[in-house]
Amino acid sequence: MWHEILFRVLSIINYVVLIIIAIPVFLQVMFILLGFLPKKKWKKSSKKGRIAYLIPAHNEADVIYGTVKAVFDGQEYPKELFDVYVVAHNCTDNTAELAQKAGAKVLVLDDPPGVKTYLYAPIRFGIEHLLSLEGEQAYDFVLRLDADNRINPEFTSLMNDAYQAGVDFARPYEGALNGTQNFYTKACAMMYAFDSRYGSRVRERLHLAAHVNGPGAMFSMKMLRECGGYDCTSISDDAEFNMKRMFDGYKGHFVEEAVVYEDMPSSYKDTLNRNKRMGSGASGLFKKNAGKLWGHFFRTGDFSFLEVYFLFSLSLLNVLLCVWLPLYYIYHFIYCGFAGWGGMELAMQPPEYYQAMIWNTVWCAVGIAVGLFLLFGYVQGIFLALSDYKKLGAKRRRELAGTVLGFPAFLILYGITLLVGACSKPSWGKVARNVPPPQK
């Protein structure tokens, strides 16, 4: 019968979809299983480089003073060997004044009327200025921060150790300032910690390229000169820069003991807005560079390119996860129900076949869901809460207990918000700041 043929065809398509989804999920599972690998420690260097901190800021008067002061006052590194640059981008408040008061060197960038730019613009502007400096004013490498970040006291020294070991491009561990504020901040903190503790550590130990994106990234001036500066224009400029440098032959590294603490989104709205940006940017980059990633893999044999391909493919696979799978399995159960018990005319299989298929599907789905929930939700959550709780912004491990229990539910919410981003136009809005500004 025609409806049986249709059922078979759709079943085959669904098996293909499941295989496509399983490959990047399998890689994430491997990161968890290999999480026991020891972290990479960079040899302490007696040689000290000159460093420029670069902070893009748009109307950040609430936090910029404290961030700049924290860098100057909190780093265990010779103060004469680093400076802080703040690029005040389209500011209508006193961000520039407060940054200068805290000790920063301020650059002002205002977009021309009618021109819309994203975060790449102030970073590019700042790096162009740094590249123009010569002689004693020149720097060895740049460390990029956000306006609300904090870093651990050893951050500058640890990044310098990596630079002196020959690293041109590196990322830190991403921790949380407000990881215990509420469910959203706790869950977001765990998501970022997962990528650092599992993904980035395993990549470093297996000699795969680290994904150098987000705040705390280190760029050598040598690399920036060779690639022509900060050559990005997308809303996911950091991921775009990382991918371009991979194509140029640069390898990103992970400096795990250097920690940047971020202000995590504290509401569904802010979580959605952040993930919409990431989902939209990631899907755009994937569409544009998927072929190049495969091409570089075949030319170099470097599995880093395939790993990036499969990771970024998740931005579009969310469409399959959140659209195809629900629609297909609604159809699957309805059809099998009518075929098995509804007296439907059948020619290819008896009703008992479809009755058994319903139960087989249920048990397989339950087994996969429970397995993934246990592994991605509870196992990694418990481990992070036990080992990295301080980096997640907690003083005691038990502060994260509730988050571990609810983390699988957040993973579903996270996937849905990334799906929304992959299907929407990029946008950049101001998010709520959750860290109280210090006394000026």
Let me know how long the chain is: 440
pLDDT > 60? residue 427: no
Tell me the average pLDDT across 222-243: 92
pLDDT at 440: 39
How deeply is 62 buried, as exposed, middle or buried, from its count of CB atoms within 10 A (0-12, 13-18, 19+)? middle
Which residues, 6 or more positions from 16, have their beta carbon under 8 angstroms from its beta carbon?
A: none
Domain locations in the chain as residue ranges: 2-33+309-422, 51-295
pLDDT at 417: 67
CA distance 256 to 46: 20
Helix (H, G, I), strand (E, B) or coil at 288: helix
CA distance 161 to 46: 8
CA distance 195 to 391: 13
Tell me the average pLDDT across 344-364: 85
Tell me the average pLDDT across 162-181: 92
Is CATH 1.10.599.10 the classification given to domain 51-295?
no
Token pair 């301080």 is at which residue? 390
**55 closest CA partner among 187, 207, 217, 275:** 217
pLDDT at 273: 78
More confident residue, 20 or 316: 20
Question: Could you read off the pLDDT of 389-417 as tens digits, one per residue?
Answer: 888 888 888 877 777 777 776 777 766 66
Write down the mean pLDDT value for the chain. Answer: 86
The side-by-side arrangement of strands in the sheet containing 169-176 is: 105-109, 82-89, 51-57, 141-144, 218-220, 169-176, 253-262, 150-151
Cβ–Cβ < 8 Å for 174, 195? yes
Q: How many CB atoms lie within 10 A of CB 353?
A: 13
CA distance 20 to 409: 23
According to DSSP, the residues that pair with 52 across neighbouring strands are 83, 142
Cβ–Cβ < 8 Å for 189, 393? yes
Going by pLDDT thresholds of 50, 70 and 90, the confidence category of residue 166 is very high
pLDDT at 1: 72
Going by pLDDT thresholds of 50, 70 and 90, the confidence category of residue 193 is confident
Cβ–Cβ < 8 Å for 131, 225? yes
Pairing of strands 169-176, 141-144: unpaired
pLDDT > 70? residue 140: yes
Going by pLDDT thresholds of 50, 70 and 90, the confidence category of residue 268 is confident
Q: What are phi and psi of 261, to 5 degrees?
A: -100, 125
DSSP sequence for 208-274: PPP---STT-EEEHHHHHHHTS----STTHHHHHHHHHHHHT---EEEEEEEEEE----SHHHHHHH
CA distance 243 to 236: 11
CA distance 119 to 123: 7
CA distance 243 to 250: 10
pLDDT at 368: 76
pLDDT at 432: 62
pLDDT at 439: 39
**415 closest CA partner among 365, 373, 364:** 373
Q: Which of 136-140, 232-236, 250-254, 433-437 has the lowest mean pLDDT?
A: 433-437
pLDDT at 83: 96
pLDDT > 80? residue 245: yes
CA distance 149 to 111: 25
Going by pLDDT thresholds of 50, 70 and 90, the confidence category of residue 437 is very low
pLDDT at 348: 83
pLDDT at 418: 64
